[in-house]
Amino acid sequence: MAKAKRQYVCQNCGSATYRWQGQCADCGEWNTLVEEAGETVFSAKHDLSKGGRTLALETLDAVSKMPGRMLCGIAEFDRALGGGFVAGSATLIGGDPGIGKSTLLLQAAGRLAKAGKSVVYISGEEAAAQVRLRAQRLGLGNAPVALASATSVRDILATLENFGDRQTADFVVIDSIQTMHSDLIDSAPGTVSQVRASAQELIRFAKDSGAALVLVGHVTKDGTIAGPRVLEHMVDTVLAFEGERSHQYRILRAVKNRFGGTDEIGVFAMGEEGLGEVANPSSLFLTDRSRDVPGSVVFPALEGTRPVLVEVQALTVRLASGATPRRAVVGWDSGRLAMVLAVLEARCGLQMGGAEVYLNIAGGYRLTDPAADLAVAAALISAFSERPVPADAIVFGELSLSGEVRQVSHDGLRLREAAKLGFSRAWGPKGLKPVGGIAVTGFDRLGELVDLMLGRD
Ligand code: TYD
Ligand code: MG
């Protein structure tokens, strides 16, 4: 017979052990093991080869219908999804508390409801009155969204299963999955087993009914969806909602997408009336730029097929010999900074080893584009030599360990975006072709850029 065994489940990665430990053996996090009711353990006598029903097997050449897409009308949201929500799919939206997840989803729910979709918004965190007040503030007081404050998955499913005159909901928001509980499991809400079981039942409902399901998830400090990484594997699409709370802009980024690319982003600005779309992100990220200051460089980043200009800032402080210099990076990979510093030192003779180095991507933006290498190098050279990079220049290119400047993808797109915003020159890899009236200077090696910036011949 089946029996349940107690076990300890890591609240970070979801791995389970039968003995308590201070540190999770799988992900290495400390103090994350919590006792939870075990999954049902079947004895070996339970023979799975008996009693199943025969499956109807299909061929590969049969024609499948593409799942239906549903645009919410917020173009930045639809773009991040790869063209709207997919019927019968589950999407997880993760982000820090207070970043604007509930606001964004309420806005999407309101738009879809006004467009005639049947929309259900379940809040496990706020009372219905609170959600209603927010909707009114967002100008969505008259949107026909069906609203409930609930946390029991059983109650939610019972409600959804005979919903509206068409007996089905088109769009369902669960805010948040960490507050839900399934009575099939006796662990507390928010634990990995609860989150997993609740998500499983809700996702099964979405697949069966054809509703587009959105689960809101809180994120832990290291950037994973709180507790269950497992959740990321269960859903079709994972979107991360990012930004600094002290800045107004937010980026919605696809981390996983079974129905589209993962390189598109949506950009929003949080304002008095909720999240507004930012159709031209470059102008937003450059608004507070410090011109003609050493260490400031504009980099044309590429997000998917979309160029975004951001400011790279570097500061170097020479130390009296002997002290250990600090290296601090915000918005970029610290390993990559160490590499650029090493290349500057070994290939170009710039001795920054004894200096403290601070690197910051302005506005709280997070760069992953490898073409940022040359922009970072230029910012470092500029800060170290106290010579500003011309304010009308953009800089991009990938660096190799030998000090070579490499070509990067989509240089035309990057140049066109810069031209649109009034930049008139670009420093980049050799062979760069001028586009949109921008004068280009191409470099084979990083040393050539150093020579140009330091006025050497
Ligand atoms: P919220 O959507 O509740 O965040 P989350 O669900 O991710 O926890 O948004 C929280 C913040 O957004 C809150 O500090 C208030 C701010 N906000 C605005 O600035 N303008 C608005 O119109 C709304 C609705 C919220
Ligand atoms: Mg919320």
Do 200 and 80 sit in the same domain of this protein? yes
Q: Residue 349 sits in a domain of what CATH number?
A: 3.30.230.10
Do 319 and 410 sit in the same domain of this protein? yes
Which pLDDT belongs to residue 223? 63
Decide: 196 in ligand 1 pocket, CB within 6 A: no
In a domain? residue 415: yes
Which pLDDT belongs to residue 1? 41
What is the phi/psi pair of residue 276, to 5°? -100, 150
Query: Rounded CA gap, 62 and 432, in Å?
Result: 47
Q: How are beta strands 355-361 and 274-277 bridged, if at all?
A: unpaired
Helix-then-strand count for the chain, H and E: 11, 23
Which of 270, 273, 277 has most ligand 1 atoms within 8 Å of CB, for mutation? Answer: 270
Do 188 and 236 sit in the same domain of this protein? yes
In a domain? residue 47: no
Q: Residue 114 sits in a domain of what CATH number?
A: 3.40.50.300
Per-residue pLDDT of the chain (457 residues; tens, 9 = 90+): 445 567 888 887 778 888 888 888 888 888 888 887 655 545 555 677 777 888 889 888 877 777 789 999 999 999 999 999 999 999 999 998 899 999 999 999 999 999 999 999 999 999 999 999 999 999 999 999 999 999 999 999 999 987 766 678 999 999 999 999 999 888 888 888 889 999 999 999 999 999 999 999 988 766 666 665 788 889 999 999 988 777 788 889 888 999 887 777 888 999 888 999 987 777 777 777 877 899 999 999 987 777 889 999 999 998 877 778 889 999 999 999 999 999 999 999 998 888 999 999 987 788 889 999 999 999 999 999 999 999 999 999 999 999 999 999 999 989 988 988 889 999 999 999 998 889 999 999 999 999 999 988 6
Decide: 97 in ligand 1 pocket, CB within 6 A: yes
Considering just the CA atoms, what is the radius of gyration of the chain in Å? 26
Do 327 and 243 sit in the same domain of this protein? no
Q: Whose CA is nearest to atom 25 of ligand 1?
A: 274
Which pLDDT belongs to residue 2? 46
Other beta carbons within 10 angstroms of residue 422's beta carbon come to 9
In a domain? residue 175: yes
Do 265 and 342 sit in the same domain of this protein? no
Which of 99, 103, 225 has most ligand 1 atoms within 8 Å of CB, for mutation? Answer: 103
Q: Among candidates 332, 338, 328, which has minimal Cα distance to 361? A: 332
Do 338 and 441 sit in the same domain of this protein? yes
Do 289 and 388 sit in the same domain of this protein? yes
Residue 198: asked if its preceding bond is cis (omega within 30°), the reply is no
Distance 270 CA to ligand 2 centre (A): 14
Residues in the chain: 457
User: 306: part of which helix (H) or strand (E)?
Assistant: strand 306-318
Decide: 403 in ligand 1 pocket, CB within 6 A: no
Query: Rounded CA gap, 403 and 320, in Å?
Result: 28
Residue 223 region by backbone torsions, left for phi larger than 0, else alpha for psi between -120 and 50, else beta: left
User: 36: part of which helix (H) or strand (E)?
Assistant: strand 33-41
DSSP-assigned letter for residue 323: S
Do 425 and 447 sit in the same domain of this protein? yes
Q: Whose CA is nearest to atom 10 of ligand 1?
A: 98
Q: Among candidates 65, 67, 64, 62, which has minimal Cα distance to 210? A: 67
Q: Whose CA is nearest to atom 17 of ligand 1?
A: 274
Query: Rounded CA gap, 300 and 311, in Å?
Result: 9
Query: Which of 233, 249, 279 is at the close of a domain?
Result: 279
Distance 217 CA to ligand 1 centre (A): 15
Do 238 and 344 sit in the same domain of this protein? no
In a domain? residue 54: no
Distance 92 CA to ligand 1 centre (A): 18
Q: Whose CA is nearest to atom 2 of ligand 1?
A: 100
Query: Which of 231, 251, 279 is at the close of a domain?
Result: 279
Query: Rounded CA gap, 186 and 37, in Å?
Result: 6
pTM summary value: 0.75
Distance 102 CA to ligand 1 centre (A): 7
Do 342 and 388 sit in the same domain of this protein? yes
Do 342 and 311 sit in the same domain of this protein? yes
In a domain? residue 263: yes
In a domain? residue 247: yes
Q: How are beta strands 274-277 and 306-318 bridged, if at all?
A: unpaired
Q: Are 131 and 106 in contact (CB under 8 A)?
A: yes
Distance 100 CA to ligand 1 centre (A): 5
Ligand number with the minimum distance to the CA of 99? 1
Tokens of residue 113, six digits:
């409801």
Q: What is the number of structural domains in the chain? A: 3
Decide: 273 in ligand 1 pocket, CB within 6 A: yes
Distance 213 CA to ligand 1 centre (A): 21
Closest atom of ligand 1 relative to the 105 alpha carbon: 2
Query: Which of 279, 295, 319 is at the close of a domain?
Result: 279
In a domain? residue 46: no
Decide: 124 in ligand 1 pocket, CB within 6 A: no
Scored b (16 or more CB within 10 A) or e, 83-93 reads ebbbbbbbbbb
Decide: 208 in ligand 1 pocket, CB within 6 A: no
Decide: 274 in ligand 1 pocket, CB within 6 A: yes
In a domain? residue 195: yes
* Structural domain boundaries, residue 104: 71-279
Distance 270 CA to ligand 1 centre (A): 8
Closest atom of ligand 1 relative to the 97 alpha carbon: 8
Do 370 and 432 sit in the same domain of this protein? yes
Decide: 103 in ligand 1 pocket, CB within 6 A: yes
Ligand number with the minimum distance to the CA of 125? 2
Distance 302 CA to ligand 2 centre (A): 30
Decide: 123 in ligand 1 pocket, CB within 6 A: no
Q: Whose CA is nearest to atom 22 of ligand 1?
A: 274
